[in-house]
Structure 1
Amino acid sequence: MRAGIALTAALLTLVAGCGITESGVVELGGPPLVSIPPPSKTIYMLRDGKLILEPADVDDDSVNSLLTALFAASAAPLPGRETALRGFTYEGMNDTTKRVQRNDPQLPRTSTLTVYVKGEQALTRSARAQIVCTAQQDAAYEAVKIVHKYDRRAPTTEEPKICGDLKD
């Protein structure tokens, strides 16, 4: 019986002591973070009916500055570039992104941006693409909704769009 108890104690020691020594907590760095690329200072114009990125003359890379530059460029002559936004004016935007108040990183694609434009003609797919793709260079916006205002009739609100669905 004593031999059985001794053998059982020896086996338990072998199983319990697997060769790994106990240690304290080892710090290996901070928590993992999502790296979101910063917005660029570019706007989407057209060349031969296709979207192209063009540098924008803006002081900062905010979406409001980029959209202002996009509509300003659409009102000027554009050698080698085209626009589907002639006749439209930029009326502003409504940013509904909930800003993080803690140390937590903000995950990309968190909000729908509403952009207000004014013009009497219909917005083409290319015009929508220029607006949506320019705005979505900021990774915080999951989608862009366009509110089209008119002089003599009620505004229309489009369903939210994403750039990938509008690119040819």
Structure 2
Amino acid sequence: MKAHRLLTVAVLVAATACGISPTDVQDRGNAPTTRIPPPSKTIYLLKDGRLVLEPADVDNDTVGSLLGALFDASTKPLGERDTALRGFTYIGIKDSLNPIQRDEVQLPRTSTLTVYIRGEGTLTDLGKAQIVCTAQQDAAFEQVRIVRENEDRPSRTEGRYTCGELK
């Protein structure tokens, strides 16, 4: 027991003899934090009938901003690019986390993003792909549901999709 005390005292003496004097804790700013980067600041347009990523002029990195930019592009000249969303208007989005119940076991949550649009005419598969692939750059959304809101008729669901199904 006496040898253990001597060893402890020797360690303490050695630690204080290293020339480093203890200091009080000092605040040096905010604690480090991590900011998850945005999924992208790009939207899907069309070139030669195929989806292509193009930079989007957006103020922030939300999916809502990206979809707003996607539909805004349909009102502008696009040069070599095109869009299948001419005549359609973006109204908004709603995110829903849906836990799946199967045999009384709750499976991991899936997230469906509902995109509300307005417009006349047919929403083609390329138009759906532009919406869905732009939204699914945010990996949190497993499916994208497109709902067409009509002023004089009931709303209509265009379907639920993943980008891979429409590419």
Both structures adopt the same fold (TM-score exceeding 0.5): yes
Q: Which runs of 4+ in 1 moved over 2 A?
A: none
The residue type equivalent to 1:54 in the other structure is E
Structure with more strand by fraction: 2
1:121 corresponding residue in structure 2: 121
Q: Please, which runs of 5 or more residues in structure 2 have no aligned partner?
A: 1-35, 99-107
2-side partners of 1:131 and 1:118: how far apart? 13
Pairwise CA RMSD:
1.9
1:147 corresponding residue in structure 2: 147
1-side partners of 2:78 and 2:38: how far apart? 27
Contact 1:109/1:142 (8 A) holds in 2:
no
SS at match of 1:110: strand
2:30 corresponding residue in structure 1: none
Contact 1:144/1:162 (8 A) holds in 2:
yes
1:40 corresponding residue in structure 2: 40
Q: How does 1:9-158 map to 2 (within 5 A)?
A: 38-97=38-97, 110-158=110-158
The residue type equivalent to 1:63 in the other structure is V
1-side partners of 2:127 and 2:150: how far apart? 16
Q: CA deviation at 1:97?
A: 4.0
Contact 1:88/1:119 (8 A) holds in 2:
yes
2-side partners of 1:73 and 1:145: how far apart? 21
For normalisation by structure 2, the TM-score amounts to 0.69
2:22 corresponding residue in structure 1: none
Contact 2:38/2:62 (8 A) holds in 1:
no
Q: CA deviation at 1:38?
A: 3.9
Q: Please, which runs of 5 or more residues in structure 1 have no aligned partner?
A: 1-35, 99-107
1-side partners of 2:97 and 2:66: how far apart? 17
Q: 1:109 to 1:130 in 2, by over 3 A?
A: farther
Contact 2:41/2:58 (8 A) holds in 1:
yes
2:166 corresponding residue in structure 1: 166
Contact 2:136/2:144 (8 A) holds in 1:
yes
1-side partners of 2:109 and 2:46: how far apart? 25
For normalisation by structure 1, the TM-score amounts to 0.69
Percent of paired sites with the same residue: 64
Deviations 1:85-113 (A, max 9, x none): 00000000001248xxxxxxxxx983000
Deviations 1:6-33 (A, max 9, x none): xxxxxxxxxxxxxxxxxxxxxxxxxxxx
